Amino acid sequence: MSVDAEKAFVGTVALEGDERLDDTALTKWMQDNVDGFEGPIDVRKFSGGQSNPTYKVHAKSGNYVLRRKPMGKLLPSAHAVDREFKVISGLHPTGYPVAKPFGLCEDDSVIGSMFYVMDMVEGRTIWNGAMPDSNPDERRGVYLEMVDVLAQLHESDVDAMGLSEFGKPGNYFGRQIGRWTKQYKLSETEHMEPMEKLIEWLPATMPEQTRTSVVHGDYRIDNAIFEKDGTKCLAVLDWELSTLGDPLADFTYVAMAWVTPNEGRSGVADLDRKALGIPELEEVVERYCAATGRDSVPDMNWYFAYNFFRLAGIIQGIKKRVIDGTAASAHAKNMSARVDPLAATAWEFAKKAGAE
């Protein structure tokens, strides 16, 4: 099903019900914690995103972005806005493209849940990997920039950024498979045979982890802000799933675009990439390897199976929250129908990697 993501996710909407914030309490907190802040404020919610509700705070001193945990009962370790704040606070001083962080509030009494405030970076978000309003040179530039910025993240000095305790250094895939298996089971709504097979097969066949870096966890073209009239990445967004781990998890997640149909989103598998100027996966692999000092990347079928499994687990969590009535987005309901096909695709890649 094609989704016009541009229409669905762009812009802001007025706050309703539980989404409403206490403007007086928030203004006071920002006066105390945000350098240069000056009220009054006007708050609206961004249309996009299913996980952590995200707000645009317009103030006399400028525009800010507020990310909060959702209301209601949450899965353990999910919606970790404090981790998002920690990683962008480590990256920002190095010149890596992230929004400037201003402050984290762990006091639920201010707006009802933990939140942080960062600068609002003005630019464009590319929701559709085909970039229909662009040209071949610009498309190529954006895709290569996406690879370069990911490589820059993976080459960043974890200790110098104060992130050496941001995650455990080894067994990344083992921990992730365990985590997403647990999350899936906690939000399970029906028996799904491919998921059961993957839960057994993935941990038994894990590739060796040879490097550790900060990993973003959800790095793709629509989780970045680019120049309005150029190819430079101004800010990488949505660090909720970031941790220390195997950088190949991020790289193979980006590579999934080349095995995923477009459908108005980030996939490029069924596009005429040559005509559009979108580089082929082989060139992307070569560029990433050159930037990170690798000879090559391993066979990606296992990693694709893992990434599609993880996506199925994440979206199963959204599906459960739709059923429970706590999902943060009107688009969540449409997304929840994707669990079955994602699980089936994951198992197809597992078979290509040797599963029986």
* Tens-digit pLDDT profile for residues 190-225: 889 999 999 999 999 999 999 999 999 999 999 999
148 and 231 fall within a common domain: yes
Q: Is residue 319 part of a domain?
A: yes
Domain extent for 87: 5-119
Could you read off the pLDDT of 36-78 as tens digits, one per residue? 999 999 999 987 654 678 999 999 999 999 999 876 655 555 5
143, 46: one domain: no
Q: For the segment 160-178, what is each residue's pLDDT rounded down to a tens digit?
A: 999 999 998 789 999 999 9
Handedness of CA 270, 261, 177, 199 (dihedral sign): negative
Q: Is the pLDDT of residue 263 over 70?
A: yes
pLDDT at 330: 62
Instruction: Reply yes or no on whether the pLDDT at 259 is more than 70.
Output: yes
Place of tokens 């907190």: 29
> Could you tell me if 114 and 169 lie in one domain?
no
In a domain, 131, yes or no: no
Residue 77: its pLDDT value, please? 54
Residue 130 belongs to a domain: no
331 Cβ contact list (under 8 Å, min separation 6): 8, 9, 48, 50
Complete edge-to-edge strand list for the sheet that includes strand 12-13: 12-13, 41-46, 54-59, 62-68, 115-119, 101-105
The reported pTM is 0.88
Which residue bears the tokens 């921990």? 175
Q: Predicted confidence band at 6 (pLDDT cuts at 50, 70, 90)? A: very low
**181 domain residue, yes or no:** yes
What span, in angstroms and rounded, lies between the C-alpha atoms of 30 and 327? 27
What confidence score (pLDDT) does residue 230 get?
A: 95
Task: Please report which confidence band the pLDDT of residue 1 belongs to, taking 50, 70 and 90 as the band edges.
Answer: very low
Distance CA 255, CA 150 (A): 12
CA distances (Å), origin 207, targets 50, 237, 264, 296: 31, 28, 33, 14
143, 114: one domain: no
- The predicted pLDDT at position 190 comes to 83
Report the half-sphere exposure of 111 (CA within 13 A, side-chain side).
Answer: 30
Q: According to the model, what pLDDT value does residue 5 have?
A: 43
In a domain, 103, yes or no: yes
> Quick one: 223 and 342 in the same domain?
yes
Which of 56, 90, 119 is a domain's end point? Answer: 119
Last-in-domain residue among 84, 119, 154: 119
> 184 lies in a domain?
yes
Written in H, E and C, the secondary structure of the chain is: CCCCHHHHHCCEECCCHHHCCCHHHHHHHHHHHCCCCCCCEEEEEECCCCCCCEEEEEECCEEEEEEECCCCCCCCCCCCHHHHHHHHHHHHHHCCCCCCEEEEECCCCCCCCCEEEEECCCCECCCCCCCCCCCHHHHHHHHHHHHHHHHHHHHCCCCCCCCCCCCCCCCHHHHHHHHHHHHHHHCCCCCCHHHHHHHHHHHHCCCCCCCCEEECCCCCHHHEEECCCCCCEEEECCCCCCEEECHHHHHHHHHHHHHCCCCCCCCCCCCCHHHHCCCCHHHHHHHHHHHHCCCCCCCCHHHHHHHHHHHHHHHHHHHHHHHHCCCCCCCHHHHHCCHHHHHHHHHHHHHHCCCC
Provide the pLDDT confidence category of residue 328 given band limits of 50, 70 and 90. Answer: low
More confident residue, 189 or 208: 208
Tell which wins on pLDDT, 319 or 166. Answer: 166
d(CA 77, CA 83): 10
Whether 78 and 163 map to the same domain: the answer is: no
Among 103-112, 245-254, 331-340, which range has the highest average pLDDT? 245-254
Residue 95's CATH number: 3.30.200.20
**Segment 74-111, tens digit of pLDDT:** 555 556 899 999 999 999 999 999 999 999 999 989 99
Domain count, the chain: 2
The pLDDT of residue 53 = 85
CATH number of residue 331's parent domain: 3.90.1200.10
pLDDT tier at 342, thresholds 50, 70, 90:
very high
Q: Are residues 144 and 113 in the same domain?
A: no
For residues 151-162, b (16+ Cβ closer than 10 Å) or e, as one string?
A: bbbbebebeebe
Confirm whether 125 is domain-assigned: no
Residues 93 and 54 in one domain: yes
Q: Note the pLDDT of residue 79.
A: 60
Reported as half-sphere exposure (CB side, CA atoms, 13 A), residue 26 has a value of 26
Q: Are 151 and 27 part of one and the same domain?
A: no
Q: How far apart are CA 153 and CA 170, in angstroms?
A: 18
Provide the 10 A C-beta neighbour count for residue 71. 15
Q: Which of 119, 153, 177 is the last residue of a domain?
A: 119
Q: Do 196 and 344 sit in the same domain of this protein? A: yes
Domain annotation covers residue 338? yes
Confidence of residue 9 (pLDDT cuts 50, 70, 90): very low
Question: Are 152 and 263 in a shared domain?
Answer: yes
Task: Tell me if the bond preceding 279 is cis, omega within 30° of 0.
Answer: no
- Are residues 64 and 159 both part of a single domain? no
Reported as a single tens digit per residue, the pLDDT across 122-162 is 999 999 999 999 999 999 999 999 999 999 999 999 999 99
Bridge pairing between strands 115-119 and 224-226: unpaired
Note whether 37 and 293 are within 8 A (CB): no
